[in-house]
Chain A
């Protein structure tokens, strides 16, 4: 009994956004505004090698010629890019020797978020890089990973320690001018995570980055680069939260993944940025993210799993470039929108090599006044003989004021390919919930059962603890919306 009651009361207690607090830390923040000097200053502040500055300047020049995309099915007032500060870091006197030197307030913040960082409490099987506003504050389990040759550190550190790896791969998956937000990120990114898995290595633990936006008027522009060499494997997790502000914060990240021959990267995200006020829609994060993986080696594999439950606006298409023969890409997504949230999310699978395979499973749940769009592109090049794609896009509507849209684009230049697309729309009805209740099953458990049934194929892809968390998160977000 007590267990049962606990979980229910936990759920009730959580029904407002529990990550909505801010932390009072002294930070080093640039004045608002963006020009070439700001770009140079960021690079200088971080003591970057010349190639990095050149990369940034090229991106900035490109960005100035570009326009914000208008094709996504989302609506928001124009963003004033001059009204954002492009650098904010918790103030630190010097380079940290150990975690003991991290501002205790920052450590406490992560602990409150369920991510203990200090040596005694850190999670045993997960290595964590904690990014606070734009800066990586702590990375756990580094030594242990290094013993098997795995590099896991903040992007800034990687630039100092392994510049040749960065120079080789940065921008190789997402070119500086790829899209408006990627160009902006390439010019002004401040930090992020870097992972390198050497050949023939299975990572002994999950690797994760935890992003936290704390300051009201900064944008978060982080950069993640993961390289998985021949015959290696890594599972990578990413989590995000932000405090509650009435204004909107911009989060424009770039994630690049590269797999060499027979390597595999499994990348999972649970995104719970603040979504704005449920009633008025005020505030919340604009989540404009470019994530792309390149299966460069033959037989390699990249799999994206995302559970998107937050942000006022989500614009995000984790994609795979299937270059190596026999390589494969997967995309598993649950996107929940409620309140006034808007999501336009999906994937691109670009088949270039022979016998390349991709599968797409997308589950959209829309509640309240929200709008949820799936946008997916499957493109098969002329040399991609025997390429195969399977797509399944299901939508679930909760209540009758929300909307769901599906925009599949299929383009094939080779006649030997097989492309299959399925789509279905369903509803959680009051009668379904009553059916559960009339069998003595609580409403919370009923919603959880229906939702986890709907999302089964996606949750199966997540590491166990993440799956449990994700399920709870969805249930608590939907409770007020059903009925």
Chain B
């Protein structure tokens, strides 16, 4: 599904990602861990097409297509979803209306008719129920005044509505309380199937108890310095990053 080949990337000419290769297949879950500032969010932004970040070498294929040639909108429509570490607030734009716009953009792409507000409301209510979200998420403006945890939950609600092929969740677990972490994780698990894939960026092994990764990669200074299975996360938790970064 996703093939990253020797990717070099950054912004304003600063190279942050210094040669990453990674292949992700349908149905897989990859966890990406690594110290602060190692380039995890930068990698996620490159994948989702943030205009301030540029690829400086290498390539990315998504379902065989050259991802770097698509803009953010096209990538989203192609099935990539990014759950932001810091979701932006948009005052004045109603959350439910925003979700409907996003949903309709997909329908239009698929050659279907736009959904009307009432039908969409039913769909939204159903998704919100599975994620255990209160009604206020419909009524409020997009992330406007949301708490850190509420913003993260709202990202997952968007993921549920958009049903992406590949989701990149950037520290979705940080800021969630213990109950919310469980509910959100269960929600993410429900959205999984053999045709989609997940990249989980996290600092905590705890999330991986709920959403079990097939692979764990450690990013340090813009490179993947170690890959392994779930046990790698446990080792990191007990030994810290020095263990992998210096061993390299």
Which residues in A have some Cβ–Cβ distance to B below 8 Å? 1, 4, 426, 429-432, 434-443, 445, 449-450, 452-454, 456, 483
Query: Which of B2-10, B45-53, B56-64 is near enough to bind chain A?
Result: B45-53
Show 12 residue pairs from A and B whose CB-CB distance is below 8 angstroms, ordered by the A residue: A426-B91, A430-B51, A435-B87, A435-B88, A435-B90, A438-B72, A438-B76, A438-B82, A439-B102, A442-B105, A449-B93, A452-B92
Q: What is the number of contacts between chain A and chain B, taking CB atoms within 8 Å?
A: 79
User: Chain A contacts of B48 at CB under 8 A?
Assistant: 438
What is the chain A residue whose CB lies nearest that of B143?
A: A435
A483 to B106, CA, bound (A): 24
For the complex formed, measure the closest distance between the CB of A444 and the CB atoms of chain B, giving whole angstroms: 10
Q: Which of A4, A430, A450 contacts B92 (CB 8 A)?
A: A450
Query: With A1-B108, A430-B51, A430-B52 in contact, is A440–B102 under 8 Å at CB?
Result: yes
Residue B73 interfacial (CB < 8 Å) = yes
A443 to B111, CA, bound (A): 20
- Residue picked from A436, A439, A483, most chain B C-beta under 10 Å: A439
User: Chain B contacts of A437 at CB under 8 A?
Assistant: 49, 71-73, 76
A1 to B109, CA, bound (A): 7
Cβ contact within 8 Å between A431 and B108:
no
User: Chain A contacts of B77 at CB under 8 A?
Assistant: 440
What is the chain A residue whose CB lies nearest that of B93?
A: A453
- Residue picked from A1, A426, A429, A437, most chain B C-beta under 10 Å: A437
A434 to B87, CA, bound (A): 11
Cβ contact within 8 Å between A440 and B73:
yes
Cβ contact within 8 Å between B90 and A442:
no
What is the chain B residue whose CB lies nearest that of A431?
A: B88
For the complex formed, measure the closest distance between the CB of B172 and the CB atoms of chain A, giving whole angstroms: 15
What is the chain A residue whose CB lies nearest that of B106?
A: A440
CB-based closest 6 A-B pairs: A453-B92, A440-B76, A437-B72, A439-B102, A440-B105, A453-B93
User: Chain A contacts of B22 at CB under 8 A?
Assistant: none
A310 to B85, CA, bound (A): 40
Which residues in B have some Cβ–Cβ distance to A below 8 Å? 48-52, 71-73, 75-77, 81-82, 84, 87-88, 90-94, 97-98, 101-102, 105-106, 108-109, 111, 141, 158, 162
Secondary structure at the A interface, as helix, strand, loop or mixed, is: helix
A454 to B88, CA, bound (A): 16
User: Chain B contacts of A1 at CB under 8 A?
Assistant: 108-109, 111
A431 to B108, CA, bound (A): 24
For the complex formed, measure the closest distance between the CB of B148 and the CB atoms of chain A, giving whole angstroms: 16
A200 to B193, CA, bound (A): 67
Query: With A438-B49, A439-B162, A440-B76 in contact, is A432–B108 under 8 Å at CB?
Result: no
User: Chain B contacts of A483 at CB under 8 A?
Assistant: 51
What is the chain B residue whose CB lies nearest that of A443?
A: B73
A156 to B118, CA, bound (A): 52
User: Chain B contacts of A449 at CB under 8 A?
Assistant: 90, 93, 97-98, 101
Query: With A1-B111, A4-B108, A450-B93 in contact, is A441–B73 under 8 Å at CB?
Result: yes
Cβ contact within 8 Å between B52 and A441:
no
Q: Which of B75, B84, B94 contacts A435 (CB 8 A)?
A: B84
A442 to B87, CA, bound (A): 18
Known: A438-B73, A452-B92, A453-B141. 17 other contacts (CB 8 A): A1-B108, A1-B111, A430-B51, A432-B88, A435-B88, A437-B71, A438-B81, A438-B82, A439-B101, A439-B105, A441-B101, A441-B102, A445-B105, A449-B98, A450-B90, A450-B92, A453-B91
What is the chain A residue whose CB lies nearest that of B78?
A: A440
User: Chain B contacts of A434 at CB under 8 A?
Assistant: 50-51, 72, 88
A132 to B98, CA, bound (A): 42
Query: With A1-B108, A1-B111, A429-B88 in contact, is A442–B93 under 8 Å at CB?
Result: no
User: Chain B contacts of A440 at CB under 8 A?
Assistant: 73, 76-77, 102, 105-106, 109, 162
- Residue picked from B90, B91, B94, most chain A C-beta under 10 Å: B90
A456 to B49, CA, bound (A): 30
A49 to B155, CA, bound (A): 71
User: Chain B contacts of A454 at CB under 8 A?
Assistant: 91-92
User: Chain A contacts of B102 at CB under 8 A?
Assistant: 439-441
For the complex formed, measure the closest distance between the CB of B82 and the CB atoms of chain A, giving whole angstroms: 5
What is the chain A residue whose CB lies nearest that of B72?
A: A437
For the complex formed, measure the closest distance between the CB of B96 and the CB atoms of chain A, giving whole angstroms: 12
A431 to B48, CA, bound (A): 13
User: Chain A contacts of B88 at CB under 8 A?
Assistant: 429, 431-432, 434-435
Cβ contact within 8 Å between B101 and A445:
yes
A330 to B80, CA, bound (A): 47
A435 to B106, CA, bound (A): 16
User: Chain A contacts of B91 at CB under 8 A?
Assistant: 426, 453-454
For the complex formed, measure the closest distance between the CB of A135 and the CB atoms of chain B, giving whole angstroms: 42
What is the chain B residue whose CB lies nearest that of A437?
A: B72
What is the chain B residue whose CB lies nearest that of A442?
A: B73
User: Chain A contacts of B50 at CB under 8 A?
Assistant: 434, 438
User: Chain A contacts of B87 at CB under 8 A?
Assistant: 435
A390 to B213, CA, bound (A): 56
User: Chain A contacts of B52 at CB under 8 A?
Assistant: 430
Cβ contact within 8 Å between A453 and B111:
no
A436 to B97, CA, bound (A): 12
Cβ contact within 8 Å between A439 and B51:
no
A452 to B141, CA, bound (A): 13
A435 to B49, CA, bound (A): 11
For the complex formed, measure the closest distance between the CB of A481 and the CB atoms of chain B, giving whole angstroms: 16
For the complex formed, measure the closest distance between the CB of A399 and the CB atoms of chain B, giving whole angstroms: 15
A449 to B142, CA, bound (A): 11
For the complex formed, measure the closest distance between the CB of A310 and the CB atoms of chain B, giving whole angstroms: 24
A432 to B93, CA, bound (A): 11
User: Chain A contacts of B98 at CB under 8 A?
Assistant: 436, 439, 441, 449
What is the chain B residue whose CB lies nearest that of A453?
A: B92
User: Chain A contacts of B92 at CB under 8 A?
Assistant: 450, 452-454, 456
For the complex formed, measure the closest distance between the CB of B9 and the CB atoms of chain A, giving whole angstroms: 16
For the complex formed, measure the closest distance between the CB of B46 and the CB atoms of chain A, giving whole angstroms: 12
For the complex formed, measure the closest distance between the CB of A346 and the CB atoms of chain B, giving whole angstroms: 22
For the complex formed, measure the closest distance between the CB of A449 and the CB atoms of chain B, giving whole angstroms: 5
A437 to B75, CA, bound (A): 9
